[in-house]
Each structure stands twice: as structure tokens, then as C-alpha cells.
Chains A and B, each alone.
Chain A
Amino acid sequence: MTHLSPDQIVDVAEGCAGGAAKAHAAECASCRARVESLVDAVRLAESDPQAEPSPLFWTHLAARIGEAVRRERVRAPFWRSWDRRLAPIGALAVLLMAAGIGLRMWPAPPAGVAPAQEAAAGDSAQAIFESAPDVEAADDPSWLLVSDLSAQVSVEEAEAAGALPQPGGAEKAMLQLDREERIELARLLREAIGTRAPASPPGPGA
């Protein structure tokens, strides 16, 4: 004969067992004893009464939990508390990256240029113009075409067409020029203001 399983005994003790389990418990003394033992144990467990706090306690507890929840709410997540500490490091990293990119983009000085002159070349756009070797003016047809066309356009028309540079645009454009373009720009500027740079860097005895 198969006796009742623990969950069937629980079902019989709680009065929710199926017909077969109930019938077995009625016939089997062993299973009936286990059911009675279980009911007795439940009664024993229930003999530990629930202590009830005073009604005021609930108001106090609810207020206390409410305060704790609100403290939790205003407390910033850890990544937000860290970002202030990490901000200087982040800024430094950005600066270093920018400096690295700038150095890579900066044109290398021509071979044979003195170190002092090389340093001066990095100082400013003016320094570039001053240190750039003179090149022969090449009358590029495309430059002439652009020059002719732009001479026929008034400033107002250019502004209406959005062709005028934005503030800071000249500096931005300068940074995008490659070495050859900067040298050419320097030559054009010198030509426009009527000065000429020395054809070669001054020698030590000059």
C-alpha cells in the first residue's frame, strides 16, 4: 500500500485533499496519525501569539520610513557623485587629446630649419608667415578665375548668399590649411601689403 506523500498529508490536514487521499487517510492508521501530528504541530505553532504594538507606533513607523525614502530619493546615484571628482581628470584627458591631435596636424618644419626658428613657427600664424620660405608666385588659373568672379560680387550679395565667413571662421579655416596652402596664403598676404620675406633664413653672420 502506498502511503500519502507529505504534500497530500498537508492537504488532508487542511481539508483540501482529493477524494482518494481522504479515503486513504480514513483507512490507513499510519497516515491518519501523521495527519493528526501535523494538525497538533500547527496548533502548537499558533500558541505563539502576535504581539501588537500600540496604535501610535504605526504613525511613527510610517513617518520614519517616509523620511528614509525621501533621503534615498535625493541621494545621487554613485556615478553622479563620482563625476564631480572625475571632471578634472576628464578635462585633462580632453586637453591632452586635443594637444596630441594638434601636434600631429601641425606642419613639420622644413629640413635644415634651426630649432629656434622651428619653435617660433609653432607660436602663431604670424610666425608661420615670417618663417615660411619664399616661393615663386605661380599664376594658378583657378585662383585667377575665383579672383575675377569674386571681384564682380558685392559684399551685400555675398552676405545674402551666406558666402561671408562667420565669426571665427577665418581662424577655423586657417587650422584646416595644409602646409602648401599656408605658404601660399603667406605669399599672397605679403604681396597684398607690399612686403617680401627673405628668400632664405638669415645665416649666422647676417
Chain B
Amino acid sequence: MQPDWTLTVVPSTQDESGRDAPLSELDDRRLVEVCLGGRVEAFDVIVERHQRAVYRLCSRFVRRHEDAADLTQEVFLRAYRGLRRFRGDATLTTWLYRIGVNVCLNQVSGRKMEETPLEDAPHLAAASDDPASSLARTQEGARVRAAVARLPRKQRATLILRVYQDLSHREIALALGTTVGAVKANFFHALGNLKKILAEEAMRKS
């Protein structure tokens, strides 16, 4: 039987010994509580902790580094606005991915993507010392990226979350609001379509 009362947890940053713990030592759920209690610095720690993952997700949907940074900011702003809706059923990372996928798919379909590959941006660190192999990898990467961009929305999101963000099928299901079976089926078809698109592209060029 469910009680007809609710328990309100007053956010506190104190640890068991009663001393104030630094925000950076709190877990995500606690940071959310503290932030909802009015301390915006707690959200700074959330940003600090998750900005890399969110940026990497966004950078898979757009080519330009600036666009990826803009999308990352938009994801965190939406998360901040909707922080009360985070109930802790999933991890904060999964919740941010969910927002991220929605933001990216909506933004990317709403505007023309720039053709400059991320690797061409001068501020980005070079991944290899050998210029020839680096160029070959860059070209191959650009080809794959263009093919991924042509996938249907759900297949694209599933493939990005699985291959590049290394999320489990269950986490992807939570992030996309679907079932594990649907995620696996989407992943299967995404990979099949990716190979098909790349093969078609190779035939066209030859």
C-alpha cells in the first residue's frame, strides 16, 4: 500500500561527519538536488563533469566545431530549465544524452550543415604523427561520417550512441525512450544501411 504522504529531502552538502563537502565530491543526483535548492554552482560541476560526453555526442551530428559547441550549450541550457523533471530513473548522463539527441536531431534537420570536417579545424589536436596515414584516415572518416548523416534519424542516433558513445542497448533504450529490442533492430539496420550507402558511394566514384 502506498502512503498518502511524500517525503521532501532538504538538499544538504554535508557529509556524515557534518562538515560541508565540496560540490565536486557530490554525486550527480545530489548535485541536482543542491542545484534545485538554489545553488547554481552545483550545475557548474555537472557541466564540468559531462561536457565532454555531450560535446562528443553533438560533434557526431554536425561537422563544424562551433556548431558542436553551440549544441552542447543548448543541451545544458535545456537540462537546466528542465532539471525538476530529472527523476533519477536513469543516470544523469543518459538523461543528458536524451536531451542531446533531441536537440541535435531537431537542430541538424532545421539547418544546412557546414561541410568543413571537424578534423580540418586548426584548434583540434592531430591524432597521428604520420601525415599520409593521417590524411587517409581523415578521408575515410569523412566518408563514414557523411554516410552516417544519411541514415534515418533513429538509426543514426542509435548507431552514434552505441558505436561512438559506447552506451549499452539498455541505456540507449532509456535515452531514446524505446525498448531494448527496438534498439538492437535499429542498430542492425543502421549498420546494414551504412554499408549499403558506402558501397553505393564507392560505385558512383569509380
26 A-B residue pairs with Cβ-Cβ distance under 8 Å, sorted by A, are A6-B184, A6-B188, A7-B185, A10-B169, A38-B191, A40-B195, A41-B195, A42-B163, A45-B194, A48-B148, A49-B127, A51-B118, A51-B124, A51-B125, A52-B125, A52-B127, A54-B125, A57-B69, A58-B51, A58-B52, A61-B55, A61-B69, A65-B51, A69-B43, A69-B47, A73-B40
Chain B residue contacts of A11, Cβ below 8 A: 184
Q: Is the CB of B44 within 8 A of A62?
A: yes
Tell me if B135 counts as interface (CB < 8 A to partner A). Answer: no
Q: Which residue of chain A lies nearest to B44 when distances are taken between CB atoms in the complex?
A: A66
Q: Quote the shortest CB–CB distance from B173 to chain A (angstroms).
A: 12
Q: Is the CB of B76 within 8 A of A69?
A: yes
Task: Give A134-184 interface residues, CB cut-off 8 Å to B.
Answer: none
Q: Is the CB of A62 within 8 A of B48?
A: yes
Given contacts A45-B159, A53-B123, A68-B77, are A62 and B164 in contact (CB under 8 A)?
no
Q: Is the CB of A65 within 8 A of B118?
A: no
Partner of A53, one of B48, B80, B124, B137: B124
Number of interface residues of B (CB under 8 A): 48
Chain A residue contacts of B163, Cβ below 8 A: 42, 45-46
Chain A residue contacts of B191, Cβ below 8 A: 37-38, 41-42, 45
Q: Which residue of chain A lies nearest to B191 when distances are taken between CB atoms in the complex?
A: A41
Tell me if B121 counts as interface (CB < 8 A to partner A). Answer: yes
Which residues on A are within 8 Å of B, measured CB to CB? 5-7, 9-11, 37-38, 40-42, 44-54, 57-58, 61-62, 64-66, 68-70, 72-73
Q: Is the CB of B73 within 8 A of A64?
A: yes
A57 to B141, CA, bound (A): 23
A148 to B146, CA, bound (A): 103
Interface string of B32-61 (1 = CB under 8 A from A): 000000001001100110011001100100
Chain B residue contacts of A54, Cβ below 8 A: 123-125
Q: Quote the shortest CB–CB distance from A106 to chain B (angstroms).
A: 51
Q: Is the CB of B51 within 8 A of A50?
A: no
Q: A47-B141, A50-B59 are in contact. List 19 more A-B contacts (CB 8 A).
A: A38-B188, A41-B194, A42-B163, A44-B144, A46-B163, A47-B140, A48-B140, A48-B141, A48-B164, A49-B137, A50-B56, A50-B164, A51-B59, A51-B124, A53-B65, A54-B125, A61-B55, A66-B47, A73-B40
In the A-B complex, list the 6 residue pairs whose CB atoms are closest, starting with the nearest.
A7-B184, A41-B191, A6-B188, A48-B141, A48-B144, A51-B118
A57 to B187, CA, bound (A): 32
Chain B residue contacts of A52, Cβ below 8 A: 124-125, 127
A50 to B65, CA, bound (A): 12
